[in-house]
Structure formats: structure tokens, C-alpha cells
């Protein structure tokens, strides 16, 4: 039992170290360098209605659906 708790603690410590190491990386693309990413031709979705229509056309004819990112996903380039 004790051994299992120690293993869990070691694993938690290792995970925390990894996560904190990740935070040490600074954003390498500054906001003023994101002009090209904000251009309309770089957007994942430019217009709402045509994307929803195209998704509907596919949903009713193909078995696969989901994970399209049409709803909810952001761009990160504001």
C-alpha cells in the first residue's frame, strides 16, 4: 500500500515538474508578429452559414461526423 502511495507521489511530482518546465517556455510568436495569421485567408472558418450548410450536406450522406471544429474552436490570433 505504502509502495503504491510512494509511486503515485513520485508520478505526481514528475508530472508537476514536466508541466512547470513547459510553462518556462515563453510564447515565441509575439502578438505583433501575428498579422498574417489574422488575415481572412488564414482563418479555419471564414463564413458561418456556408460551413454549416456544407457540414449538413456531408452529415446526412456520410457515416462520419464530429471534430469539425465548426463549433467552438478558436483561432488564438486575436
By the criterion CB under 8 A, which residues form the site for another protein? 20-21, 23-24, 26-31, 33-37, 39-44, 47-50, 52-54, 57-58, 60-69, 71-78
Distance, CA of 33 to chain centre: 20
4/40 with CB nearer another protein: 40
5/67 with CB nearer another protein: 67
Rounded to the nearest 5 percent, the helix, strand and coil shares of the chain are 50, 0, 50
- The least distance separating another protein from the CB of residue 4, rounded to whole angstroms, comes to 27
Q: Alpha-carbon distance 54 to 77, whole Å?
A: 25
4/36 with CB nearer another protein: 36
Q: Which three cell numbers stand for residue 70?
A: 465548426
Amino acid at each position: 500500500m505504502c509502495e503504491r502511495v510512494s509511486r503515485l507521489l513520485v508520478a505526481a511530482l514528475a508530472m508537476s515538474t514536466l508541466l512547470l518546465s513547459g510553462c518556462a517556455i515563453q510564447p515565441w510568436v509575439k502578438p505583433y508578429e501575428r498579422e498574417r495569421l489574422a488575415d481572412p485567408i488564414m482563418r479555419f472558418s471564414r463564413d458561418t452559414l456556408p460551413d454549416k450548410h456544407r457540414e449538413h450536406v456531408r452529415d446526412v450522406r456520410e457515416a462520419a461526423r464530429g471534430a469539425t471544429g465548426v463549433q467552438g474552436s478558436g483561432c488564438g490570433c486575436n
